[in-house]
Structure 1
């Protein structure tokens, strides 16, 4: 074997996975077909759960020092959700994808993991022991496992001939990073009488300290083929038709056309090959859910591959990646399609759509509705199906950030190992049997007994049988 795990694609998903594998002590090779890292921002926001996961690896604080990353306002289809502000320890922040990629690449390089660029995959073959990948530059790499993080037009997915059902794109809109003269500094979603619309939110500042914005814009007559370049005049005319003289384009930094395609692979696992991020699911970029969902795919898969490589993975552990993440991806596609309808993304100005939006906007004034939508969009409401979810309310959810003596729980998770919270000091003998892969926090800790997986999800919480069944289920047989 040339490596334990070969990761194809060095975007946020691939680099997050490479870091998870590094933490797990797994030899990793990270390749990308581009000759150099893209400078396009693409996604623009990091949700609460993703920030918590970065914090659990000690990455969040240094990431936030890379620039001005303002706190954003939650919305659903452009309908503000003001009651959700401050609900979570880490609020939604505007951090462009290009910043995240640059930060993660430097972090990996500091740990001697360097992206091998100019590696365009052209073939792969797998057997019972590993996967062999062949590249256009003549390189051939063999690893125990291969993970596709190579984007919406995934070569790995094509070579696998993986089923990719869903809705093909029917119309396009513009997504751009711009500097504007604008009399409204808040996030805005606006339409004109003809069905043309624009949506924008803060994107931090450029190196000169000038505010940047992410702009999405579309409507009737604006749906052009994806390969047609976006011009400054096109954006100026669109802004004028929607905002009049209230908004003026000062600088166009980057623009592309996006479609309303919504697809998801039928299986996230194909033998020793796994699909993550946009290689597994594509949809409209609303709420940065594509990037966030991909990063969380990587967080879910990384420790499980580590367990398999180290030989202690229990039967079926790798299959839980599909079982846990496929439903999450499907739910994201559903909420994005609902938002697209309520936004009238195609600009139909259909009275029935307007009526549905008006009714939904009224319902969205209710606190419980806002909280439900916020949990869905932020990733904080994800609950994985696990043994114990029937009678243990915390099981399957992200772990609470408890104080454990002088440290907080998220700091303990930086080891990439499981954590057994044992405040009454009852489970020392049991924990010792798994001490090579699970740490125990005993007396002096707050809260109830709890077992937490390396990805930060609770997998046992004061159940009647003690932690041993959960330890076997998630961490294999004792040493």
Structure 2
């Protein structure tokens, strides 16, 4: 019997598998697709944007350089690890198809930000992400089975079983990472609630007879939106039909051409359609992320429109948050209630992303109300404060878990502190343990930290910029669990460490 069976070998399932494997858990991943190759995951249709927080997650596990290589990003766009400033520009993104000017982002207003080797977000493909994660999973002893369709789930107080035909896969825990139409979610009886769609969206790879009739980039029109990628072929469209067409039938060339003409206001002609799929802005979320010994992560727990590219990044955040907590539970040293904090911390994040998606849809609606809101938003995005606010929400910089502390850094993603000897926080997190950084001159936390040596890595010394702190305790997922002043209190540290990591 495995410690954990993960259903779904997409980025979320694979990242979670790597987290668990890194912690020494036995992990089996079941994937219904016969193999990893698919045109929907490769360039151009598989292009996705990773937020700064997601990129930092790869960096903290030693997978950033492999990801850059797999993504073809080897042009010096990453920061120099020895530099005090990033050597790359921020990526602005968009809100409801309205582009942000990255030069308008007030970097000084972003909370507790320090420069580091991680990028400020990057473009990649699902294929590149899954290749890097699959290779890492294999190194960690994770087993992946393709061509397995789960048809039933049973559980008791001690274990859970996923059935696929005549085969049974038993584990202490099962995690559904099997996407927006999750089988695990339905079989385990999760409640899935939310709002119905306003539009049908389309993604296609097509040959355009007269491409000069379509403007490149994001184009928000009075009848919807279309997106024409810089490369030939990929086109996205959003048609406000109440989601009536989605998956009701396979979109034909004539149908796609009619929609494109309507939302673009042109008489553009599609010569051929090579691949096409539809989606909606249906926004749904499970009421809890855990039912007994079954948990959900990624799109299995929450679905919404792809506006702003939040889905992949939210799912990776789920995996990072769940991984160390589930591993601690498997190994028997988790403090009481630790696994329940997964829902407590991540459910509000998912709910906020759904609302962010709904807000964009409301702005885009082709009616007088939507047009009025759109005008106001354009004015706000045109300001430095407005751009910074939207960027902060999109980048993940605004995420803060409620950990019961009034310290403004606690609950946030830890800055990449750099010690005077050149060691960075990102260097210390690659083995999956928590990290205690002690900036005090007398190594005040050393004796206390040694009690958790198997779960907390201790590092001491002055920092190039300690942000006025004397010490910080960082969880395995990169979240600050505790922060001390110039003379950190060992007893306060011990209380925080016990709350997060269990008894020493």
Q: TM-score, normalised by structure 1?
A: 0.89
Would the alpha carbon gap of residues 242 and 269 (structure 1) be closer, same or farther in structure 2, given more than 3 Å must change?
A: closer
Distance 1:278 1:409, change over 3 A: same
Shift of 1:67: 3.5
Q: Distance in 1 between matches of 2:184 and 2:226?
A: 35
SS of structure 2 residue aligned to 1:469: helix
Does the 8 A contact of 1:44 with 1:214 survive in 2?
no
The match for 1:396 is 411
1:86-117 Cα offsets, whole Å, 9 max, x none, are: 94862232222233223322332344424211
Which residue of the partner structure matches residue 428 of structure 1? 446
Once the two structures are overlaid, the 10-residue window that deviates more, 116-125 or 71-80, is 71-80
Q: Which residue of 2 aligns with 1:207?
A: none
Are 1:278 and 2:277 an aligned pair?
no
Match in the other structure for 1:96: 125
Tell me, in whole angstroms, the C-alpha distance in 2 between the residues paired with 1:332 and 1:6. 27
Which one of the candidate residues 58, 80, 91 is aligned to 2:99?
80
Verify the 8 A CA contact 2:400 2:412 in the aligned structure 1. Answer: yes
Deviation digits for residues 332-375 of structure 1 (CA, Å, limit 9, x no counterpart): 0001000011012xxxx311211111012112222222222212
> How does the TM-score come out when normalised to structure 2?
0.84
Does residue 54 in structure 1 map to residue 58 in structure 2? yes
Q: Any conservation in 1 of the 2:194–2:284 contact (CA below 8 Å)?
A: yes
* Number of the residue aligned with 1:415: 431
Q: Choose from 216, 229, 232 the match for 2:237.
A: 216
What are structure 2's unaligned runs of at least 5 residues? 78-89, 108-112
Match of 1:124 among 125, 148, 153: 153
User: Equivalents in 1 of 2:243, 2:501: separation in Å?
Assistant: 53
Aligned partner of residue 115 in structure 1, secondary structure? strand
Residues 175 and 217, structure 1, Cα contact 8 Å, conserved in 2:
no
Distance 2:59 2:306 in 1: 24
Match of 2:219 among 168, 189, 194: 189
Q: State the alpha-carbon separation in 2 of the partners of residues 326 and 295 from structure 1.
A: 14
RMSD: 2.7
Aligned to 1:11: 10
Deviation per CA, 1:23-51, whole angstroms, max 9, x where unpaired? Answer: 11111111112222251135622111111
Partner of 2:81: none
Task: After TM superposition, give the deviation of residue 239 of structure 1 in Å.
Answer: 4.2
2:393 paired residue among 341, 357, 376:
376
Aligned ranges for residues 255-404 of structure 1 at < 5 Å? 255-344=276-365, 349-388=366-405, 390=406, 392-404=407-419
The alpha-carbon distance between structure 1 residues 324 and 85, as it changes in their structure 2 partners (threshold 3 A), is same
Cα distance in 2 for residues equivalent to 1:444 and 1:90: 25
State which of 106, 115, 126 in structure 1 corresponds to 2:135. 106
| Distance in 1 between residues matched to 2:454 and 2:218, nearest whole Å | 52
Given the alignment, which residue of 185, 198, 202 partners 2:226?
Answer: 198
SS in 2 for 1:287: helix
Secondary structure at the residue paired with 1:467? Answer: helix
Bigger drift between 363-372 and 65-74 goes to: 65-74
d(CA) in 2 for partners of 1:85 and 1:68? 26
Q: Map residues 152-171 of structure 1 onto 2, 5 A cutoff.
A: 152-169=180-197, 171=199
SS at match of 1:165: strand
Question: Aligned pair in 2 of structure 1 residues 432, 81: CA closer, same or farther (>3 Å)?
Answer: same
Aligned partner of residue 123 in structure 2, secondary structure: coil
Q: Distance in 2 between matches of 1:97 and 1:185?
A: 26
- After TM superposition, give the deviation of residue 228 of structure 1 in Å: 2.0
Mark the CA change 1:251 to 1:325 in structure 2 (over 3 Å): closer, same or farther.
Answer: farther
Q: Distance in 2 between matches of 1:225 and 1:373?
A: 29
How far did residue 247 of structure 1 move?
Answer: 7.5
Structure 1: give runs of 5+ residues left out of the alignment. Answer: 203-209
Give the deviation of 1:176 after TM superposition. Answer: 2.7
SS at match of 2:295: strand
Counterpart contact for 1:74–1:92, Cα < 8 Å: no
Report the counterpart of residue 176 of structure 1 in structure 2: 204
The 1:7/1:66 distance shift into structure 2, 3 A limit, reads: same
